[in-house]
Amino acid sequence: MYKRIKLEGHARRGEYTTPHGTVQTPVFMNVGTQAAIKGGLSADDLREIGCQVELSNTYHLHVRPGDELIRDMGGLHKFMRWDGPILTDSGGFQIFSLAQLRKIKEEGVYFNSHVDGRHIFMGPEESMRIQANLGSDIAMAFDECVGIPAPREYCEASCDRTVRWLARCKEALTRYTSEDNAVNPGQVLWGINQGAVYHDLRVRHMQQIAELDLPGYAIGGLAVGETAAEMYDTISAVEEYMPQDKPRYLMGVGTPGNIIEAVYRGVDFFDCVMPARNARHAKLFTWSGTMNLKNAKYERDPRPIDEQCDCPVCRRYSRAYLRHLFKAEEMLAMRLAVMHNLYFYNQLTARIREALDNGTFADFRRQYSERLSQRAED
């Protein structure tokens, strides 16, 4: 259940209750695609860096180790020892990312495993069964993420099919969570809005899926080729038609500036692989902008990554030491860098919440929206 606490323009301060805890929003969800954060972070680490929601992927866990195995181990929470809320992506994005390997039909999608090439079929019912086996708190609808640019005719047909798939998802998940041996009887389904950057398709699709009265809704199919301006315009176009009493989730976005701008436009939930992926290549986020720790100027720099940061890494280690770890190709380099970047993103949304609580979000946006994506001067 979503509760809106405060409103500043379109920006919303709220909280969302799940079977595994209440989430303060806006929130950044930490992406553990295969039930682990790439870079060597555990569930204990996630607690230390302020993670509220962990996100895992239906397709990847179905392929390896198998959703039935995870169900037999007590569900994803017990399997990875994370006691907070979990959201599972439906596998729909893999339709987009594995485009060379798949065939889309009304019943679902046929494609080959990226691991061993075996044939896999996934439709709405299969996606819901897998997510029910995982026992996440929020299950995302099975949809198609259309790349941008895309022909309008294709997007329109895809949107219509996604509406039909969503109705099948709702029926299937209701059935699975009602079973006596359900891993998480409180698991809920969120719908996903699609339509590329065609605003009229977006609006129509949002109106159609809102009729199903689901507990939450996402804006999908962005950050897949459009400009930032197109993304912001699309969010603004569809936000007006999203239920006011339900959380809004912008899938797969993005930079710190993207998050600030999307909050400004009424979004509550975010996820992105960017902070962890960039960290593994020594590209770090700070309150002064971005930095690349492999730069020679940090070779003898005794300062922490960010003197304004209180993460476990910045409290203990110098830029010089982390640069050495990267140059020596030590595994610890990735772990420490990922820990810092995810802490930064978690703190970013914490500071956004604080600004909304204090009625100062407009000032926060002016100060940080552009700065955080620029290169730090020092």
89 is catalytic: yes
- How many angstroms separate the CA atoms of 119 and 322, rounded? 43
- How many angstroms separate the CA atoms of 302 and 237, rounded? 47
For CA atoms 164, 170, 176, 182, the dihedral sign is: positive
Q: Are 342 and 51 in contact (CB under 8 A)?
A: yes
Determine phi and psi for 309, rounding to 5 degrees: -105, 140
Nearest to 84 by CA among 128, 45, 123: 45
State the catalytic residue, choosing from 45, 67, 143, 271.
271
271 is catalytic: yes
Contacts for 157-163: CB closer than 8 Å, 24+ residues apart: 158/194, 159/194, 159/195, 159/201, 159/204, 159/205, 161/106, 162/192, 162/194, 162/205, 163/205, 163/208, 163/209
Q: Are 84 and 23 in contact (CB under 8 A)?
A: no
State the catalytic residue, choosing from 67, 89, 137, 268.
89
- How many angstroms separate the CA atoms of 163 and 305, rounded? 46
- How many angstroms separate the CA atoms of 248 and 242, rounded? 8
Nearest to 352 by CA among 31, 54, 25: 25
- How many angstroms separate the CA atoms of 148 and 223, rounded? 9
Strands 86-89, 54-57: pairing is: parallel
Point out the residues that are catalytic. 89, 271
